[in-house]
Structure formats: C-alpha cells, structure tokens
Copies of this chain bind each other. A is one copy, B any other.
Amino acid sequence: MSHPEPHAALQALSTQLGPELLLTDDFTRGLYASDDTPRRCMPEGVLFPKTHEQVRDIVAIARQYRVPLVARGAGSGNVGGALPLPGSLVLSFECMNRILDFDPVNRTITVQAGVITQDIDQLARSQGLFYPPDPGSAPYCRIGGNLAMNAAGPKAVKYGVTRDYVLALRAITGTGAEIRTGSRTSKGVVGYDLTRLLVGSEGTLALITEATLRLLPAPNARATLRVCFDSNVHACEAVARVMAGHITPSALEFMDHHAIEAIRATGAASDLPPETRALLMVEADGEASDLPRQIRALEQSLQGPGLLELLEARDPDAITALWTARKSLSGAIKRIAPLKINEDVVVPVTRLAELLAEIERLTRHYELPIVTFGHAGNGNLHVNLMVHPEDKGEMARAREALLQLFKAVLQLGGTLSGEHGIGTEKRDYLPLELDPATLAVMQGIKRQFDPDGILNPGKALPMRS
C-alpha cells in the first residue's frame, strides 16, 4: 500500500472544495483534536462539507492519497470514536445541518447528518410527534454521531435506541461508492439490511450523509417517581419487579450511594431520607388520562423490602425538582477526582445486584472511588472510575479494575457497551466478548467497505493481527 500523503491531499481538497471548507490553522485543528475522552491528537486539517457530493469528493481524494478520515458530529462521544489519528483529516458534519423533508402524516423526517438531535425532536413535537432516542448530549450532539454510535438514553427502556428509528440512509463507503439503504416506508425487506449494518459502525464502514428517521406520536403527559431504598440489592429487586410487570416505564434510572453522596456534597438532594443507599427515578408517559393507571401499577411493582420513600410528581415543575438530584450528578462527581473513566456496561436486569456487589468489591480492593448510575431498566449502568491521571499507580489500578469489571459483566451474561460504543477506549477489550470467528467476519466487512482503511481506522474493532 502506498504511503499516506496528507499534504498533497490537503492541496487537492482545497482545489476541489474551495479553501473556505477546509481549515488547517492551529487554532481550528486544536478545537478538533479531542472528543469527550482525555486523549488528544491534532488532525492535519478539518473539513466542513455542506453536501453529499462534497463528502463523496472528499472520500475520493482521501483514498487517492491514503489519508485517514475521521467523521465527527459534535465530538461529544466518550470512547474516542471522533478522536483524530496522526496524519488524519477530521470531516466535521456541522455544516450539513439541513432538514431535507418532514412528513408528519407518514411520520418520517429526512435530515443531513449534521442536524442537532434535539432539533429533530423539537420539529417533530411541533406536529404532535417526537423522536424518542434521548442521549444526554441531545441539545448539542449531531444525528450523524448518534447513528454512528447507535446512541440511546433513558427513554430506551420503553422506546428503544437510535437503530430502531432509522428507515433509510444515504452514505459513501470507503471505496467512494454512493449507496442508499432501506426505504422511507415503515416496512421493507429488499436486500440485506445495510441500514443497521452502518448504524453503530462508528464511521468505519461508510460516511452517512443523510438519514430518514421514523417518528412516533408524542405522549402529552408524564409523571415521575423518586424512590429511595436502603440498599442496592433492594433497589435492584424493585427494578426486576418493574421490568417483569405490565407497564414499561419511559425511564428507570438508578443511582448508587456513591452517586448520592456526591450529590449531597454539593448541597442538592438534601431532602433524601438520610439512610438512602440507592435511588430510582421512574417515569411513565402517555395521555394524561392514562397516567394514573400506569403510576398505580408501577408503584405496586416498586413496593417491597427496603423501600424508604416514594415521591410522585405529575406537574412539570415538580418533575424538574425530582430530576434535579439526577441531573446534578455529572457536575457533582467531578469534585471527587479530575478524571472519570466512564464505562457503560450492560447485564440482564436480574443480575444488576450481583454486578453492583462486584463493583463494591472493586472499589475496596483497588482503593478507587467508583460512582455508578444509569439506565437500570435496560440493565445498562454507567460505572465511573474516578482517578487522578498524573497518579501512575492509581491509573494502573484503574486499568486492572476495568478488566475485572468487564470480566464480571460478561460472566453475568452482559455486554461491554450499551450505548457509548467501542471507539479506541474499548477496542482492545472486544476479544473478551466476541469470539475470533465473529471478529473475523466483522473485520472482513470492514475490508470490503473500506479496503484502504481510510475510514476512522483503528476504531470499533481490534487492529488486525
């Protein structure tokens, strides 16, 4: 394979696109050198295409000069998916932010990849619809990044993840082929499901330029329960009862006592019963007249050993107040240590208590603060190892703890990532979960879509051995 020639590529790109869509100054390159991981790598330049055709031209030139392309939405991912590589170009989708079609009757919306996720939801809501996937970054992340990572959020427990709302894609593969996948209809089985093959592939197979998304009728009311328990075990038993029950909540969030203490240290959540060691936030949505029935059923499931308090809120202000504790968490835990290693593991809901017991063991054994919270209804916990990056001993212990955590998750029938993806951060752990034959099939697909390895190389899959 010939040598990468980033400078020749930059010259060709500047000629092809015009200089205003390509920035190479230090300030801009610095802005695009990192994502929400602590790593940093300066790209050779940053591209801002506005159209599908410009993305196609960029791929052709990148391929000609063997220059890696790192697709980027808002750079809010936390596994290094959008992290530049040495000698790479960042392809930012920020300027591809047009709504191409909005069809409320057929409940579809077609957008360029750089549209902000929350803008899609807001436009849908203007017509009584909504876009269910709700990552925490929705106010600023881009739909292309959500598609690349198969993003999710609290609502996934009832409504599913990004993958479940994608009808059709337009994309450019690593060979420069322009493909269209799926159809705009709500059903379709023509050819292989390339749509879902691209969703979650982290920009390693093709660059998604446009997407047609499915929308749902918006629930017009919601109610929230804040439920305090005396232990992880009792909270997890309640989660399992809820998920075995008739009413699926629209959110079922968990916080462990480390998370509660972090919030208390900020002065928030002063109204929690003092003996609270685990907290659930449970939400139901639907039509206002139907909420009491749902809430009654959820309350019934939540009743059980160790329940300390159950508060209910139906009006928006009261709901906001109940969520305050949960929302203050991200800020609160930064006080514990400067860096959080933010994991995103999943186990079957019946195994949550065992996972939490193992996390407690790890926090003691490795003398590391670990703060755990997340989407308990999906068995999807965010496990945050709080560390000081300059403390080499602590970092070594954290790496060892992570490996133990991942092994425990797999032992419990779980998976290494529920919604954050693999990127660079979990890449080397994949062989713990995927057997060599399955990995080889994935690597074969990568080679087929991107034979020159120019699309986000080294992400999502272990490097080829």
Which residues of A does B touch, CB under 8 Å?
103-108, 128, 149-150, 152, 156-157, 160-161, 163-164, 173, 177-181, 183-194, 196-197, 199-201, 205, 216-217, 220, 240, 243-248, 287, 289-290, 293, 346-350, 375, 378-380, 413-422, 426, 430, 433-435, 437-442, 444-446, 448-449, 460-461
Partner of A178, one of B220, B287, B350, B437: B437
Residues B290 and A378 in contact, CB atoms below 8 Å apart: no
- Are A414 and B460 in touch, CB under 8 angstroms? no
Chain B residue nearest in CB terms to A183: B415
Task: Output the residue of A193, A414, A437 with the most chain B CB within 10 A.
Answer: A193
Complexed CA–CA distance, A152 and B189 (Å): 10
Q: Is there an interface contact between B438 and A448, defined as CB atoms closer than 8 Å?
A: no
**Copies of this chain, whole number:** 2
CB distance from A102 to the nearest CB of B (A): 13
CB pairs A–B below 8 angstroms (10 shown): A150-B189, A177-B437, A180-B438, A181-B438, A185-B413, A187-B346, A187-B379, A190-B434, A191-B461, A444-B448
Q: Are A197 and B200 in contact (CB under 8 A)?
A: no
B104 lies within 8 A of A246 (CB) = no
Give the residue of B415, B420, B426 whose beta carbon is less than 8 angstroms from that of A185: B415
**Residues on B with beta carbons closer than 8 Å to the beta carbon of A441:** 173, 177, 179, 194, 448-449
Q: Taking each of A105, A430, A435, which has the highest tally of chain B beta carbons within 10 Å of its own beta carbon?
A: A105
A205-B161 Cα distance, complex, nearest whole Å: 26
Chain B residues with Cβ under 8 A from A185's Cβ? Answer: 346-348, 378-380, 413-415, 418
Q: What residues of B have a CB within 8 angstroms of the CB of A128 in the complex? A: 246
Do B184 and A193 touch across chains, with their CB atoms under 8 A apart?
no
Bound together, the chains give a CA A157 to CA B185 distance in angstroms of: 11
User: Across the interface, which residues of B come within 8 angstroms of A105, CB to CB?
Assistant: 240, 243-244, 349-350
Report yes or no: A433 in contact with B190, Cβ–Cβ below 8 A: yes
Q: Are A442 and B194 within 8 A (Cβ)?
A: yes
**Interfacial chain B residues near A179, Cβ < 8 Å:** 435, 437-438, 441
**In the complex, what's the smallest C-beta–C-beta distance from A356 to chain B, in angstroms?**
16
CA distance A348 to B441 in the complex (A): 35
Residues of B within 8 A of A178 (CB): 435, 437
- Cβ A188 vs Cβ B438 within 8 A: no
- Which B residue sits closest to A157, measured CB to CB? B186
Complex contact B193–A419 (CB within 8 A): no
- By the criterion CB–CB under 8 Å, are B188 and A418 in contact? yes
Residue among A107, A192, A414, A419 facing the most chain B CB atoms (10 A cut-off): A192
A189 with B420, Cβ < 8 A, contacts A173-B441, A179-B438 known: yes
Given A197-B197, A438-B181, A449-B441; A156-B416 close (CB under 8 Å): no
CB of A439 within 8 A of CB of B191, answer: yes
A370 to B301 CA separation, bound complex (whole angstroms): 52
Question: Quick one: closest B residue to A433, CB to CB?
Answer: B190
Closest to A444 in B: B448
